[in-house]
Amino acid sequence: MRTFKTGLSVFFCILVSILLKRETYVVAAITTVFTLREDMENTLKYGKHRIIGNVMGALMSVVVIAVFNLLGRTELVQLIFIPVIITLMIALLANLGYQEGTVGACATLLTIVFMIPADRSYGYAFARVVDSFIGMGIALLVNYLIPLKLGRKRVVGPVENEEVSE
């Protein structure tokens, strides 16, 4: 059932992204795949961790861009500063109890810093957070509306009493 719900969630992420004219639906779809779990409690937990991770990665990318603007985007600055900021970000997320958000945080930071043109990085950071909310919201909605075991009941037969001889 979880496999079906994941596929359905990805479908809705793509549909909502198209209807809202989002630039891409990749982040929403990835977020829904990472977020959807076996029950609402875990889905909410992983969704929260994913959102916090993406927000942290976006905020830290702003810090990195500010450092690049201040010191230059040289290879030496990148070689030293990026691993330091990644290490600090992972430690901060772990200390706050959001360790499941570290992969998303690192991916967000690295994507914004290395793959997005400098003039679009702030907008992309914001869009990535919005798309994460879309993916998490859809995962929560699908998990709420479709129970894990739709229509299945576990039937346990009667236990027979056997006499035990000593």
Contacts of 47 (CB under 8 A, 6+ apart): 31, 35, 136, 139, 140
**17-63 tens-digit pLDDT:** 999 999 999 999 999 999 999 888 999 999 999 999 999 999 999 99
pTM over 0.95: no
Most confident of 8-22, 56-70, 109-123, 136-150: 8-22
pLDDT > 70: what percent of the chain?
89
